[in-house]
């Protein structure tokens, strides 16, 4: 594949221009690209934590503030049936604006033009466009067109090349490693601010121990300079995170761990309370998510112990 070939312009994203987006130079709320470049310069990765409820959001924000660590707040398109964007989006953006640390807010695995536009209107500072199910050149073309539209509005774009296995709110997908040459094409021609790669990572719960292909990651890093992203972080061993960061990963996504922490926090509270109430359960869920998030922030930041 010749990475010098021009990417022809498509009109796929034209309907995005029907609306302008809101300004976003507010304290706390910041571009994702800034967080990733800072993390790379510091030899760490920015944690990106998916949320699906107010309690999850409160727990993640509390963890970031407790550790004084910038993070990315995320919500995935396929989770909107349980967590509508018009409800979750404003909470996430306001939480970032009020936070004591810098936070980006990203629409994760976006596919729908209307939902991407809505996320931008709500004040999200980044969009992750999932074109991994498209032919490579179609993925690059659509990503490039969207990246240009978002750049005019001060919004970052994360692209994806390769196919992650596992389940992200839908049917199981068969994993396909990212081709380093295709990654170079995407990085050079799309104008993306970050690139998600597939090296054996998967969404959801792993079936057995994850086996990351660091040789593929090394080759991708050698061919690209864009910050790399590792999806499917829940269940990956700490030592593999450390290796991935050392080899160029600047952002790591965590979703399943915190959804599990939400359910576990509620279950444990209900088990120990003879007369449970919502407010106590709320606090238990927030605390469970906070602890799970801090554990991952510590690993991604290569730091010592931080009190939970």
Tokens 């910050």 locate to 227
Q: What are phi and psi of 115, to 5 degrees?
A: -75, -35
The neighbouring-strand residues paired with 166 are 173, 203
Residue 241 is given by DSSP the state H
To the query of whether residue 152 is one of the catalytic residues in this protein, the response is no
Q: Two tokens at 307?
A: 């009190």
Residue 61 burial (CB count, 10 A): 27
Q: How far is CA 170 from the centre of its chain?
A: 18
CB of 241 within 8 A of CB of 233? yes
Distance separating alpha carbons of residues 125 and 72, to the nearest angstrom: 10
Active-site residue among 4, 17, 42, 108? 108
Nearest Cα to 106, choosing from 253, 232, 227? 253
Please give the positions annotated as active site: 108
């Amino acid at each position: 594949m010749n990475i010098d070939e021009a990417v022809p312009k498509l009109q796929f994203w034209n309907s995005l221009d029907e609306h302008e987006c809101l300004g976003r130079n507010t304290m706390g709320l910041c571009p994702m690209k800034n967080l990733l470049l800072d993390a790379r310069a510091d030899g760490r990765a920015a944690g990106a934590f998916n949320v699906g409820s107010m309690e999850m959001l409160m727990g993640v924000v509390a963890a970031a503030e407790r550790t004084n660590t910038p993070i990315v707040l995320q919500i995935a398109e396929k989770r909107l049936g349980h967590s509508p964007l018009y409800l979750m989006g404003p909470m996430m953006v306001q939480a970032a604006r009020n936070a004591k640390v810098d936070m980006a807010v990203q629409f994760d695995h976006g596919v729908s033009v209307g939902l991407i536009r809505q996320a931008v209107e709500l004040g999200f500072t980044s969009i992750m466009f999932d074109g991994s199910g498209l032919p490579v050149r179609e993925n690059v073309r659509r990503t490039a067109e969207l990246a240009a539209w978002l750049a005019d509005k001060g919004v970052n774009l994360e692209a994806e090349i390769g196919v992650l296995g596992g389940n992200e709110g839908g049917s199981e997908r068969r994993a396909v490693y990212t081709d380093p040459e295709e990654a170079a094409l995407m990085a050079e021609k799309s104008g993306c601010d970050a690139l998600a790669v597939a090296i054996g990572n998967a969404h959801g719960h792993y079936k057995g121990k994850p086996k990351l292909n660091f040789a593929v990651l090394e080759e991708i890093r050698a061919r690209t300079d864009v910050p790399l992203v590792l999806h499917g972080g829940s269940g990956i061993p700490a030592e593999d995170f450390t290796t991935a960061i050392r080899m160029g990963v600047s952002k790591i996504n965590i979703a399943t761990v915190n959804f599990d922490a939400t359910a576990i926090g509620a279950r444990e509270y209900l088990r120990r309370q003879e007369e449970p109430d919502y407010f106590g359960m709320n606090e238990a869920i927030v605390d469970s998510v906070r602890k799970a998030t801090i554990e991952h922030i510590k690993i991604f930041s290569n730091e010592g112990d931080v009190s939970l």
